Structure 1
Amino acid sequence: MYIGYLNYVIVLCWVTGGLILLTDVKAYKNASLKKEQKVSKFLGLVNISIGFGLIAGDFIFSHFMW
């Protein structure tokens, strides 16, 4: 039996990335702050990508390494 926290980390990455994209990007767009908008969009997408990368890494590790 394996109890891990990876699922919580994945969901946390997705939720924080989505919140960044939904709140910060809109706020910076309304305030006409172009650089901050680009950085927030980049960080949100990176956060979501990390979540998908963790899923892929877990799949590869559990199916091909063990």
Structure 2
Amino acid sequence: MNERERIGELLAQKRNEVGLSVRETAELAGVSYQNITKIENGKYNVSIDILSKITDALNCKLTIIDK
């Protein structure tokens, strides 16, 4: 699994935890639902700005940690 796929999987898990659909998340984040789907499937090289909008919509924090 590559990093895009891992990030997409984590976002999808969080979205499901908070009980939002892809469309609801897209609306809250101001991002198209098609892009949310591509991001969750690891098919979109997401920018930090868009990733930040999505994590804000999911009420979670974007954090970088050491391995």
TM-score range, shorter chain: 0.3 to 0.5
User: Rg bigger for which structure?
Assistant: 1
TM-score, normalised with respect to structure 1: 0.35
Whose helix proportion is higher, 1 or 2? Answer: 1
